[in-house]
């Protein structure tokens, strides 16, 4: 009996003790859970998987992603808010501090995160998929071609490409040309021939266009789908590039053709391959990636620069004066030099202001590789982060009267991570210098050689998902008698 009482009281005490421990654990867990929940940024996750994807795409199609998706949520929740896009819980961040934090913490807290279709079409060995040392090695090889010495060599090559392009397509057109489509062909030729040093054969441009058409398409691989067509085109390009790589590598190894001193990016990539720093797959994937990275972005930046020049006659007058001054220093037949492009200060302000108002890239996705704490919020490991250009470009705290076109605002120094059409941190655009030269040189040739006007001054911009003028930006054209 005594034993029974002892046993009963022991089990009772044990029960009470266990219950107390369990409640403590549950309470702590609940508190912790609430704490984490409380610390997630505010916002709506929407329906399971689909979340707010439909609203996001609807705004994207109209090129009003900032105005119709981001801004209303910022007004409700603040600069940082959560949502769910394409199955992924996502935090959208806006503002210079957020840009600095997420862009400069690439590889430490976040890594870039691309849709599976983009990775399959660009290749898993392209720079956008690389981290750490491998990323640094590829950046170094690209950087060699775009060093100051490399740019000196690039300028006359770009001038020649622009001249040939205008002669072939513009001088033979009756009186109108699609500026956007024309610059797409030109940008492609500049990347292929001037940067990489590979001759463009007929059909190469359209095959690449088919790849790029699938980069953001849904990953549906049935016959005739955008993604399937793009994959087929990728195989064709791969076959063509493998042949070029083998032939050039053989010539370089036998000393029959200029090695890296030739300065082209292909020679630098192959130099890296011969030294065993990178593989053949890395050479091929990065050639495809560079075309993708340069193509629609530079063409859109040029198109928007011309749109702004057309809509602001005072700006056109100032800009033209700058180019006439440069021409006055040259004799007939002289080609532009790197030094001449450095004198195009106002033109670069116009181009920068056009990219502020019409950034070719809305922003891009990152993935948290650890739990991140930022401004009192938790961003759980595995969640996506989307940084945006518009979050600072359209913010009156960053730019006075932000919707006004005012190139002279770039006479002042802009604080870091405020103006970010080319991104920032370790993944800052690797082709920034090439894009700049491409824009400046093309503007120089067009404004000094042609009178032109927009056929649709109010042409809509569409996004798919990169922005483009919906009619290809046709312009009316006539050669100038003399500047
Ligand atoms: C106006 C034209 C251009 C714009 C606005 C632009 C914009 C950008 C942006 C925003 C990024 C960063 C993406 C991110 O953080 O996820 C980027 C990366 C990159 N861009 Fe550009 N780009 C332009 C032209 C070019 C050109 C001409 C090339 C090369 C030929 C190029 C090559 C690259 C590469 C290789 C990267 C990846 C860098 C890395 O991951 O380390 N871009 N670009």
pLDDT tens digits for range 259-272: 777 889 999 999 99
- Tell how far the Cα of 293 is from the centroid of ligand 1, in angstroms: 5
- Is the beta carbon of 424 within 6 A of some atom in ligand 1? no
Taking only the tens place, the pLDDT of each residue in 62-118 is 889 999 999 999 999 999 999 999 999 999 999 999 999 999 999 999 999 998 889
- Is the beta carbon of 278 within 6 A of some atom in ligand 1? no
Lookup: tokens for 60? 């994207």
Please determine, for residue 310, whether its predicted confidence score (pLDDT) is greater than 90: yes
Q: Is residue 112 part of a domain?
A: yes
- Total residue length of the chain: 483
Cβ-Cβ contacts under 8 Å for 294 (sequence gap 6 or more): 187, 190, 191, 195, 431, 434, 435
Residue whose CA is closest, atom 12 of ligand 1? Answer: 423
Please determine, for residue 28, whether its predicted confidence score (pLDDT) is greater than 50: no
Outline where 40-191 has alpha helix (H).
Answer: 53-61, 71-77, 96-104, 116-122, 132-145, 148-165, 179-189
Q: Kindly report the CATH number assigned to the domain that includes residue 65.
A: 3.30.43.20
For position 2, what pLDDT does the model report? 37
pLDDT (mean) for 336-349: 98
Q: Is residue 351 part of a domain?
A: no
Sign of the Cα pseudo-torsion (426, 427, 429, 430, in order): positive
Q: Is residue 64 part of a domain?
A: yes
- Is the beta carbon of 336 within 6 A of some atom in ligand 1? no
Q: Is residue 90 part of a domain?
A: yes
Lookup: tokens for 408? 């002279």
Q: Is residue 79 part of a domain?
A: yes
CA–CA distance, 207 with 209 (Å, rounded to integer): 5
- Is the beta carbon of 367 within 6 A of some atom in ligand 1? no
* C-alpha dist (Å) from residue 11 to 8, 19, 363: 5, 12, 62
pLDDT (mean) for 218-240: 92
Please determine, for residue 480, whether its predicted confidence score (pLDDT) is greater than 60: yes
CA–CA distance, 248 with 270 (Å, rounded to integer): 8
- Tell how far the Cα of 29 is from the centroid of ligand 1, in angstroms: 44
- Spacing of C-alpha 209 from chain mean position: 17
Helix (H, G, I), strand (E, B) or coil at 132: helix
Average pLDDT for the chain: 91
Taking only the tens place, the pLDDT of each residue in 47-76 is 999 999 999 999 998 889 999 999 999 999
- Spacing of C-alpha 425 from chain mean position: 13
CA–CA distance, 350 with 407 (Å, rounded to integer): 5
Helix (H, G, I), strand (E, B) or coil at 298: helix
* pTM summary value: 0.91
**Residue 238 — left, alpha, or beta (φ > 0 → left; ψ -120 to 50 → alpha)?**
alpha
Number of domains into which the chain is organized: 1
pLDDT (mean) for 410-418: 97
- Tell how far the Cα of 423 is from the centroid of ligand 1, in angstroms: 8
Partners of 451 in the β-ladder: 478
Lookup: tokens for 379? 């961003």
**How far separated are the first and last CA of the chain, in Å rounded?**
117
| Residue 405, number of CB atoms within 10 A of its CB | 16
For position 123, what pLDDT does the model report? 92
Please determine, for residue 464, whether its predicted confidence score (pLDDT) is greater than 80: yes
- Is the beta carbon of 301 within 6 A of some atom in ligand 1? yes
Q: Is residue 406 part of a domain?
A: yes
pLDDT (mean) for 343-356: 98
Q: Is residue 86 part of a domain?
A: yes
- Tell how far the Cα of 215 is from the centroid of ligand 1, in angstroms: 15
Taking only the tens place, the pLDDT of each residue in 141-157 is 999 889 888 999 999 99
Please determine, for residue 21, whether its predicted confidence score (pLDDT) is greater than 70: no
pLDDT (mean) for 179-185: 97
Q: How confident is the model at residue 482 (pLDDT cuts 50, 70, 90)?
A: low
Residue whose CA is closest, atom 35 of ligand 1? Answer: 430
Please determine, for residue 8, whether its predicted confidence score (pLDDT) is greater than 50: no
- Is the beta carbon of 293 within 6 A of some atom in ligand 1? yes
> Which atom, in ligand 1's list, is nearest to the CA of 425?
15
pLDDT (mean) for 199-210: 93
- Tell how far the Cα of 418 is from the centroid of ligand 1, in angstroms: 17
For position 26, what pLDDT does the model report? 43
In contact, 280 and 153? CB cutoff 8 Å: no
| Residue 71, number of CB atoms within 10 A of its CB | 17
CA–CA distance, 310 with 303 (Å, rounded to integer): 11
Please determine, for residue 161, whether its predicted confidence score (pLDDT) is greater than 90: yes
Share of the chain above pLDDT 70, in %: 92
- Is the beta carbon of 407 within 6 A of some atom in ligand 1? no
Write out the residue range of the structural domain in which residue 118 sits. 40-123+362-420
> Which atom, in ligand 1's list, is nearest to the CA of 300?
1
For position 149, what pLDDT does the model report? 87
Residue whose CA is closest, atom 6 of ligand 1? Answer: 422
- Tell how far the Cα of 431 is from the centroid of ligand 1, in angstroms: 6
- Tell how far the Cα of 435 is from the centroid of ligand 1, in angstroms: 9
pLDDT (mean) for 11-40: 49
- Tell how far the Cα of 17 is from the centroid of ligand 1, in angstroms: 62
pLDDT (mean) for 161-171: 95
Please determine, for residue 17, whether its predicted confidence score (pLDDT) is greater than 50: no
Please determine, for residue 1, whether its predicted confidence score (pLDDT) is greater than 70: no
- Tell how far the Cα of 210 is from the centroid of ligand 1, in angstroms: 20
For position 483, what pLDDT does the model report? 56
- Is the beta carbon of 385 within 6 A of some atom in ligand 1? no
Q: Is residue 282 part of a domain?
A: no
DSSP designation for 222: S
Please determine, for residue 466, whether its predicted confidence score (pLDDT) is greater than 80: yes
Q: How confident is the model at residue 31 (pLDDT cuts 50, 70, 90)?
A: very low
For position 481, what pLDDT does the model report? 77
Q: How confident is the model at residue 37 (pLDDT cuts 50, 70, 90)?
A: low
Q: Sheet harboring 363-368: ordered strands across?
A: 80-85, 88-93, 384-388, 363-368, 110-112
Q: How confident is the model at residue 472 (pLDDT cuts 50, 70, 90)?
A: very high
């Amino acid at each position: 009996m005594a034993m029974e009482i002892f046993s009963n009281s022991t089990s009772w005490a044990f029960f009470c003790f266990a219950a107390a421990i369990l409640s403590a654990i549950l309470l702590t867990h609940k508190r912790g859970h609430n704490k984490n929940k409380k610390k997630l940024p505010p916002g709506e996750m929407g329906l399971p998987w689909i979340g707010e994807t439909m609203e996001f795409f609807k705004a994207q199609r109209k090129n009003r992603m900032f105005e119709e998706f981001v801004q209303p949520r910022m007004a409700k929740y603040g600069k940082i808010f959560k949502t769910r896009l394409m199955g992924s819980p996502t935090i959208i961040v806006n503002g210079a501090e957020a840009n600095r934090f997420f862009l400069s913490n690439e590889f430490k807290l976040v890594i870039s995160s691309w849709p599976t279709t983009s990775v399959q079409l660009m290749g898993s060995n392209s720079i956008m998929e690389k981290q750490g040392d491998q990323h640094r090695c590829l950046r170094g090889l690209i950087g060699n071609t775009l060093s100051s010495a490399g740019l000196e060599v690039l300028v006359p090559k770009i001038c020649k490409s622009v001249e040939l392009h205008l002669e072939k397509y513009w001088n033979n057109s009756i009186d109108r040309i699609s500026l956007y489509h024309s610059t797409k062909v030109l940008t492609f030729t500049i990347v292929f021939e001037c940067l990489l040093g590979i001759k463009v054969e007929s059909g190469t441009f359209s095959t690449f266009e088919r790849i790029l058409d699938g980069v953001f398409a849904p990953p549906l691989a049935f016959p005739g789908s955008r993604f399937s067509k793009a994959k087929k085109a990728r195989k064709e390009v791969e076959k063509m590039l493998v042949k070029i790589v083998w032939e050039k590598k053989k010539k370089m190894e036998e000393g029959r053709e200029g090695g890296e001193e030739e300065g082209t990016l292909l020679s630098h990539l192959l130099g890296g391959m011969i030294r065993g720093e990178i593989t053949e797959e890395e050479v091929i994937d990065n050639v495809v990636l560079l075309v993708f990275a340069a193509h629609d972005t530079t063409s859109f930046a040029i198109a928007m620069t011309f749109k702004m020049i057309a809509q602001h006659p005072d700006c056109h007058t100032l800009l033209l004066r700058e180019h006439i001054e440069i021409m006055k220093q040259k004799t007939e037949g002289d080609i532009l030099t790197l030094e001449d492009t450095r004198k195009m200060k106002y033109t670069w302000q116009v181009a920068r202001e056009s990219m502020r108002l019409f950034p070719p890239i809305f922003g891009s996705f990152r993935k948290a590789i650890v739990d991140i704490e930022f401004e009192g919020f938790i961003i759980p490991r595995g969640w996506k982060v989307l940084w945006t250009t518009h979050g600072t470009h359209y913010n009156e705290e960053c730019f006075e009267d932000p919707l006004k076109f005012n190139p002279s605002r770039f006479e002042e120094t802009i604080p870091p991570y405020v103006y970010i059409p080319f991104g920032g941190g370790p993944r800052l655009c690797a082709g920034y210098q090439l894009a700049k030269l491409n824009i400046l040189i093309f503007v120089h040739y067009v404004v000094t050689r042609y009178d032109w006007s927009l056929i649709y001054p109010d042409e809509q911009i569409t996004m798919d998902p990169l922005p483009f003028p919906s009619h290809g930006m046709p312009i009316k054209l006539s050669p100038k008698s003399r500047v």
